[in-house]
Amino acid sequence: MELREFRYQAGDLPLPLEVLEGRMGYPAGQCPDYLRLLIREALQWAEEHSEIQGGLVVLEPVSLRKETHTLMLGGVELEIHKILFGQLRKSDAMALFLCTAGPAVGAQAEELMRRGDFLEGYILDLIGSEIVEVAMDQIQDTLERELALTGLHITNRFSPGYCGWRVAEQQKLFSFFPKGFCGVTLTEHSLMQPIKSVSGIIGIGRNVRRKAYACQACEMAHCIYRGRVVTE
């Protein structure tokens, strides 16, 4: 079981203003000038204070049980729910991932809101979420390119808390990483600290594919992956 580590500078990630404006509900070219300025200032702050790092662990073989919608990895049973089971059932291996934007962005967003600067806090919070997702996109793209050279493919990435996969399962995922890896820890309720962090699994195999998220099959209405573009 080899642990791979990744580090990024926020300024090197694709974070165009138009995408951030879209995340706030504004079509291209329709974001008010004052709001665009706030987004630009928050993005600059985030780029200067983010500490982006992540890691991957690839595990095989994978044992999947359709009756219980579970998969067994390294002696650990993950209860992934029927929706994710359907997406991962053809996998021959699994990549477990962890990625964080660091503590500063989330903490500053909370501080702004505590002071009553709700719009500025919301914008910075949104940017922090986008940074960690875009960084994880980079890690996933790297994995996909490398595996393609051997004839293997990957699935989308899936995280506890989505599609019926319980957040408490994060405790099991973290057992595959060194304690405090990337500076990320879990609270007693299995929530990650720093809050701008993501974890989860990616299926690997010859008969799996990365494709648009099956949002119509998921009960979670407010999800960052809903409508998110997947690059083939």
**What pLDDT is stored for residue 101 in this prediction?**
98
Q: What is the pLDDT of residues 75-119, one digit of tens each?
A: 999 999 999 999 999 999 999 999 999 999 999 999 999 999 999
**Domain contains 140:** yes
**Domain contains 222:** no
Q: What total number of domains does the chain contain?
A: 1
| Residue 133 reports pLDDT greater than 80 | yes
Query: How far is residue 219's CA from residue 162's CA, in Å, rounded to a whole number?
Result: 9
**Domain contains 225:** no
**Domain contains 229:** no
**Domain contains 159:** yes
**Domain contains 231:** no
**Domain contains 45:** yes
Q: Which residues does residue 193 pair with via DSSP β-bridges, in sequence order?
A: 185
Residue 71 phi, psi dihedral angles, 5° rounding = -135, 145
- Closest among 98, 97, 124, 96 to 109, alpha carbons compared: 124
**What pLDDT is stored for residue 228 in this prediction?**
52
Q: Which run of H or of E encompasses 205?
A: strand 197-205
What's the domain range around 96? 3-217
| Residue 214 reports pLDDT greater than 80 | no
Query: How far is residue 121's CA from residue 45's CA, in Å, rounded to a whole number?
Result: 12
Mean pLDDT score of the chain: 92
52: which 2 tokens?
Answer: 């982006």
CATH of the domain at 73: 3.40.109.40
Q: What is the pLDDT of residues 175-196, one digit of tens each?
A: 999 999 999 999 999 999 999 9
Query: How far is residue 42's CA from residue 128's CA, in Å, rounded to a whole number?
Result: 10
Is the full-model pTM beyond 0.75? yes
**Domain contains 227:** no
